Amino acid sequence: MEPPASQPPPPMFPRSRLYHSYYSEEKTFSAPSANTQQGSQLPSKVYNKGLKDLEDNDIEGLLSKLSIDELEDLNNDFDPDNSMLPPSQRCRDQTEKEPTGPYKRDNLLKFLEDKAKTEKDWDDVCPYTPGIKRGKVYDSDSGRNSEEPESGKMEMPIEIDLDDDEEELECALVSAPEKDLVDLAGILGMHNVLNQPQYYNALKGKTQDETTGTTFNGIIQSYVPKIVPDEPDNNTDVETCINRLREDDADLKEVNINNMKRLSKERIRTLIEAACNSKHIEKFSLANTAISDSEARGLIELIETSPSLRVLNVESNFLTPELLARLLRSTLVTQSIVEFKADNQRQSVLGNQIEMDMMMAIEENESLLRVGISFASMEARHRVSEALERNYERGSFFFRFFL
């Protein structure tokens, strides 16, 4: 028989299931009311417990049935890593003892002394016996230990008993060799009466030898420096280099006249002019040759006209910052220079305007990888390093691409 039209049919699923919360498992379970619809299909068990046992019992009733030990275990169930709780609530309260009263220092010291007397001492490897020395006995005649330690027993590092009379201790120290006293002074930290090798050998347990000294009057041997031979003179034949450069010799790719201060200024000018005629020179070094702006002006033409020049070294000379800036600006013509060294000139301070000009020239150059110039400005150093790094990455990319 169909239901009346005024009454809607009962739902297929209960409303509680249609609006079930995703976090319902984290909420406290509440027992269903007595007027629950008979058509609702609820689970019969929750955590393996029947719902009939929970209908008439609430949380207070459940807690009232727990014993004192169970309540204490439940109260001690804390999460020490839970940062949402204050530190006082992350662990159980262990202060069950009643306070003994105000602080009394004399009573505390008496308690600690009585407790120390009642506690049992550690067992000694070699028990103490009056009149018997523990460990190896030192023989002053032979300078060695007369007895070997018994097997299975620990070798005692102390050879005398400090509990004996002071006279015996003094006699033992007087009769001991000075080598052992040096080790004893190092162990006791008396570094003011020892030299440094003796002190560290005593701490590391190494024996003193003739190099460190076995007495308190040991003299530290001075460090003998290694004899390094002087750098040989530069034997470059300047006349031969000039002739080969004028003839554009393909085998002459490097010219090095470093440290040739006795070379005349005219010969240096002639060498630079001859290098402008060569199309194969790759490295030109004029470090520490005492050249000034008048001789180095020819390098501007060399940089602008030589397509093969890769390295230019003019360190330790008397070039002005203005000429160094012009040399860097001239590298933009061919952009073939890879390494430019011009540090350690007579005028160490370049100036802010010169540094900015050099920095802009380096940023515009796409071939420079190394620049030997000391910049005082932090901005110039930072931007120059970024420009050189960018050129290096660009060169590495093209190298990998063409391979």
Complete domains list, the chain, with CATH: 172-221 (no CATH), 238-402 (3.80.10.10)
308 and 281 Cβ atoms separated by less than 8 Å = yes
Whether residue 48 is predicted with pLDDT greater than 70 in this model: the reply is no
Please, which pLDDT band fits residue 151 given cuts at 50, 70 and 90? very low
Task: Identify the residue with better confidence: 148 or 90.
Answer: 90
Q: Which residues contact 335 (CB under 8 A, 6 or more apart)?
A: 365, 366, 367
Model-level pTM?
Answer: 0.47
Q: What are phi and psi of 254, to 5 degrees?
A: -140, 135
Q: Are 308 and 280 in contact (CB under 8 A)?
A: yes
What percent of the chain has a predicted confidence (pLDDT) above 90? 40
pLDDT band at 385; cut points 50, 70, 90? very high
Contacts of 252 (CB under 8 A, 6+ apart): 241, 244, 245, 278, 280, 281
Q: Residue 87: what pLDDT?
A: 76
Q: 311 has which bridge partners?
A: 283, 339
DSSP 138: B
Residue 343's closest CA among 313, 307, 384? 313
Render pLDDT for 111-139 as a digit per residue (tens, 0 to 9). Answer: 999 999 998 888 877 777 887 777 777 66
Residue 180 has pLDDT above 70, yes or no: yes
Range in 154-158, 198-202, 399-403 with the lowest mean pLDDT: 154-158
- pLDDT above 90 (res 175): no
Task: Tell me the average pLDDT of the chain.
Answer: 77
Residue 375 confidence class, pLDDT cut points 50, 70, 90: very high
Q: What is the DSSP-derived secondary structure letter of residue 287?
A: T
Q: What is the pLDDT of residue 152?
A: 39
> At 232, phi and psi to the nearest 5?
-65, 155
pLDDT at 18: 41
- Is residue 298 over pLDDT 80? yes
The yes-or-no verdict on residue 47 having pLDDT over 50 is no
* 8 Å CB contact between 113 and 107: no
3-state secondary structure of 106: helix
Residue 255 banded pLDDT, cuts 50, 70, 90: very high
Using one digit for the tens of pLDDT, what is the confidence trace for 6-32? 555 554 444 444 444 433 444 444 444
Q: Give pLDDT tens digits for 332-361.
A: 999 999 999 999 998 888 999 999 999 999
Which residues, 6+ apart, have CB-to-CB distance to 40 below 8 Å? 14, 16
- C-alpha distances (whole Å) from 228 to each of 209, 231, 288, 350 are 29, 9, 21, 36
Position 294, amino acid: S
- Average pLDDT of the segment spanning 180-197: 78
Compute CA distances 28 → 34, 83, 220, 385, whole Å. 19, 22, 82, 64
The residues pairing with 49 across neighbouring beta strands, listed in sequence order, are 46
The CA distance from 96 to 72, in Å, is 13
| Helix, strand or coil, per DSSP, at residue 46 | strand
- What percent of the chain shows pLDDT beyond 70? 71
Band (41; pLDDT cuts 50, 70, 90): very low
User: What pLDDT does 227 receive?
Assistant: 86
Distance from C-alpha of 28 to C-alpha of 39, rounded to nearest angstrom: 24
Residues, the chain: 403
Integer Cα distance of 303 and 361 in angstroms? 14
Q: Is the pLDDT of residue 373 over 70?
A: yes
DSSP 13: S
Query: Would you call 340 helix, strand, or coil by DSSP?
Result: strand
Could you read off the pLDDT of 266-294 as tens digits, one per residue?
999 999 999 999 999 999 999 999 999 99
- Please report the pLDDT score of residue 303 as a whole number: 95
Q: Which long-range contacts (CB under 8 A, 24 or more apart) does 34-42 make?
A: 39/10, 39/14, 40/14, 40/16, 41/14, 42/14, 42/16
